[in-house]
């Protein structure tokens, strides 16, 4: 690592630092919401890979009309200038901490030079001053050890949180008020989201895009980034055999077989037969490769299929339940409620509203979230949980926004 002023230098941020009174993004067109502004806090010792994730993911998210959905701005805790990385180059950050006051979301990527934040769990004076610019209601996100910053500021007290598996024990000792989960890729706790290290930051940012704008937008970003569109937050961080031994059979063929017939009943033995394995061997191999059990994986794929159909089609809830493989509307409601915190009709209404809608017929299927009759004219007046309203979390409380963490 080098901190010399004559080291090679990259550039991050925008040419003109926004002042504290500016709105998130440029002035919107009449009737169009302003862009959501993501401000990335680059600290000395930042990992360039993780620093680049927000710009790559949020910066590529666009509406069906091709309009960018986010503004991404990089800032430092100091006035504009160079910031050290853990590589052999510095970056030139052209925004100071005042940019945090313009943020709808503040994201803190990992750093290897956190000093007292890591060692004692306390903020430095300049970091505390930078975070003082936060507006109430700003969404907070961390990647890897960036969670130490949120924790030292007290934002994670009493909440579940994730970090890189190698730092999890130290993270828990340093911040005993946090419920650290060392096994998952990321945790969505409503207005505060934390992830494990490195590539898990991609998963978390894609999850946020999906939460904000739906699966179609998130899948498009994933396609352009050449990464899987969805890895569930509850998936294990450390997979024993992420790259299968070339001499051993894998479960790839079974997964492709299952994806082609999600609408049909699928038994574990049927999947095992595709690989000519016993059920026991197949289950063990599947978990080693995917980090979850075959049953959990199937539910995830069916939830994703249902989300896509709810967003992109006018099919009834009963039809979507059959096409996604849940069999009945009640079964699908239970699984979506567990995974997303909202019922199918609420989810559909939310993302049709985000996309501008296409009329009452497209947004209402004649049944409410409990399966009873629904008035398709008045349904639009109800607050949408997935669009920022309140709904039950996994613990059953109603005092936090919707979470999207797997209960499998």
Place of tokens 């509203």: 353
pLDDT given at position 32: 58
Distance of alpha carbon 74 from alpha carbon 11, whole angstroms: 10
Q: What pLDDT does 393 receive?
A: 30
* pLDDT score of 359: 34
- The pLDDT score that the predictor gives to residue 311 is 86
pLDDT-derived band at 231, boundaries 50, 70, 90 = low
pLDDT in tens, 254-305: 999 999 999 999 999 999 999 999 999 999 999 888 878 999 999 999 998 9
Q: What pLDDT was estimated at residue 230?
A: 65
Alpha carbons 211 and 340: distance in angstroms, whole number: 9
pLDDT confidence of residue 312: 86
Structure tokens at 21: 């009174």
Distance CA 359, CA 354 (A): 13
- Higher-pLDDT residue of 102 and 292 is 102
Residue 250's pLDDT is: 83
pLDDT for 181 equals: 92
- 3-class SS of residue 292: coil
pLDDT at 236: 55
Q: What percent of the chain has pLDDT over 90?
A: 60
Q: How far is CA 204 from the centre of its chain?
A: 3
Name the range with the highest mean pLDDT among 139-153, 224-238, 305-319: 139-153
Question: What pLDDT does residue 225 have?
Answer: 87
Tokens read off for 266:
């699928």
Give pLDDT, residue 348: 87
Task: Name the burial class of residue 141, with classes exposed (0-12), middle (13-18) and buried (19+) by CB atoms within 10 angstroms of its CB.
Answer: buried
Tell me: pLDDT of 154 over 90: yes
Indicate whether 162 pLDDT > 80. Answer: yes
pLDDT at residue 292 in the model:
85
Digit-coded pLDDT (tens) for 52-71: 999 999 999 999 899 999 99
């Amino acid at each position: 690592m080098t901190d010399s002023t004559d080291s090679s230098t990259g550039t991050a941020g925008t040419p003109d630092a926004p002042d504290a009174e500016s709105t998130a993004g440029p002035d919107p067109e009449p009737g169009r919401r302003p862009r959501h502004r993501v401000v990335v806090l680059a600290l000395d010792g930042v990992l360039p890979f993780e620093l680049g994730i927000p710009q790559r993911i949020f910066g590529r998210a666009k509406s069906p009309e091709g309009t960018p959905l986010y503004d991404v701005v990089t800032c430092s805790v100091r006035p504009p200038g160079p910031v050290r990385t853990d590589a052999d180059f510095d970056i030139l950050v052209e925004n100071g901490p005042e940019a945090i006051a313009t943020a709808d979301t503040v994201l803190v990527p990992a750093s290897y030079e956190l000093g007292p934040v890591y060692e004692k769990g306390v903020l430095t004076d300049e970091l505390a001053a930078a975070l003082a610019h936060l507006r109430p209601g700003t969404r907070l996100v961390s990647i890897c050890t960036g969670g130490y910053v949120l924790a030292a500021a007290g934002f994670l007290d009493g909440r579940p949180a994730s970090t890189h598996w190698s730092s999890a024990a130290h993270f828990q000792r340093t911040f005993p008020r946090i419920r650290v989960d060392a096994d998952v890729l990321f945790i969505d706790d409503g207005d505060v989201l934390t992830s494990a290290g490195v590539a898990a930051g991609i998963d978390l940012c894609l999850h946020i895009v999906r939460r904000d704008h739906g699966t179609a937008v998130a899948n498009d970003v994933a396609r352009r980034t050449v990464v899987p569109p969805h890895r569930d937050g509850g998936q294990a961080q450390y997979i024993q055999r992420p790259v299968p031994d070339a001499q051993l059979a894998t479960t790839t063929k079974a997964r492709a077989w299952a994806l082609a017939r999600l609408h049909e009943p699928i038994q574990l033995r049927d999947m095992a037969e595709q690989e000519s394995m016993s059920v026991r061997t197949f289950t063990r191999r599947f978990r080693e490769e995917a980090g979850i059990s075959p049953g959990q994986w199937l539910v995830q794929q069916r939830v994703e299929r249902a989300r896509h159909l709810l967003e992109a089609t006018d099919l009834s809830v009963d039809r979507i339940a059959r096409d996604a493989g849940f069999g009945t509307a009640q079964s699908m409601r239970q699984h979506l409620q567990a995974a997303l915190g909202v019922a199918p009709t609420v989810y559909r209404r939310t993302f049709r509203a985000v996309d501008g809608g296409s009329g009452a017929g497209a947004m209402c299927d004649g049944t409410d979230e409990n399966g009873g009759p629904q008035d398709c004219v008045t349904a639009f007046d109800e607050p949408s949980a997935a669009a920022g309203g309140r709904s039950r979390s996994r613990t059953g409380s109603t005092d936090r926004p919707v979470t999207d963490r797997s209960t499998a």
